[in-house]
Homo-oligomer: A and B are copies of this chain.
Amino acid sequence: MLQHGTQLGGKRLRPALLLLSGIAVGSLGPDHIVLGSVVEMVHTATLIHDDVLDEAETRRHVATINARWNEHTSILVGDYLFAQSFRLAATLSSTEACRMVGEAARLVCEGELRQVLARDVLNISEEDYFAMIRGKTAELCRVACELGAKYSGGTEATVEAMGCYGDSLGVAFQIADDFLDLWGDDSTVGKTLGTDIGQGKMTLPLIRLRETVPAPQWNEICKILTGPVDDRLAGAMPFLQKSDARLYTQRVAESFKERAIRSLDCLPESEAKRSLVKLAQFSVDRRF
């Protein structure tokens, strides 16, 4: 089951961030390898539980654990991975990594809880939206970069700058995810489009739409967003296309990408730094 679970993750973004941050700041040691595994395990645990929440059948063209086995198994395999990741973090010499990973995992759950409780709440603010995605996506990217820098002997200022890079990249990455759910190509994205809108999740394009259309038109859109699940994407799309929601979402994602790249100013030039810049660009420009 765990072997199957490892196929569900795709990009290995978080360990890549951790290792590249470590190389960009100093040099890698065995602790970086352990911590890269720890953050990916925490992430995989949350993906497995997400697939239960979303009743997803496939992820990245592979059957989810709930589809291949059942929900019970998914919940327990996710719990197993959580426990194992903490046990692994505790093999390092100090409690610092345990504290940082534990706190990040707690904030990921908090972000996801906020999102579940905000389902079908169409009037959530942009601020609420950012609080949710900071927790559910950016937090683990932030802590990956911080750990990478810290375990390479980075100064407090450098660790903080790398944390800011990870946070901004994570936010940009999630906005791009929300963008792809509406305007992606389902054969390259690897999951069904319109999932967010079907689940009553208000993402940035919809919030922008709400903020820019006249009230009577928004009432009409609300009926679509709370109507039959399968009609929502097609129903809302003409309104989205007429608005500036697509352009606005891209612009906001770009601004977080720029912020991420600026956070790297404190680092000397290196191949690792250039890779981090490319990762920030990829987080926004990707098609999957």
Interface residues of A (CB under 8 A from B): 1, 45-46, 49, 52-53, 70-73, 75-80, 82-84, 86-95, 98-99, 101-103, 105-106, 108-110, 112-113, 116-117
Contacts and interface: CB of A to CB of B under 8 A. Distances in A.
Given A45-B79, A80-B113, 6 more contacts: A1-B113, A52-B71, A53-B71, A77-B109, A94-B95, A98-B98
Task: Report the 4 A-B pairs with minimum CB-CB distance, sorted nearest first.
Answer: A87-B102, A90-B98, A83-B105, A80-B109
B49 A113 contact: no
B109 A83 contact: yes
Nearest to A84: B106
A35 to B, nearest CB: 13
Given A75-B49, A113-B76, A116-B73, A91 B83 contact: no
10 contacts: A52-B75, A53-B75, A73-B116, A76-B116, A80-B109, A84-B102, A86-B101, A87-B98, A95-B95, A98-B98
Contact of A87 (B77, B90, B106, B116): B106
A144 to B, nearest CB: 16
A106 B77 contact: no
A285 B13 CA distance: 53
A21 to B, nearest CB: 21
Nearest to A49: B75
Contacts of A112: 76, 79
Nearest to A106: B83
A105 to B, nearest CB: 4
A99 B113 contact: no
Contact of A77 (B86, B98, B113): B113
* A71, A73, A79, A110: residue with the most chain B Cβ atoms closer than 10 Å: A79
A99 B95 CA distance: 10
Given A75-B49, A75-B75, A116-B73, A90 B80 contact: no
Nearest to A45: B79
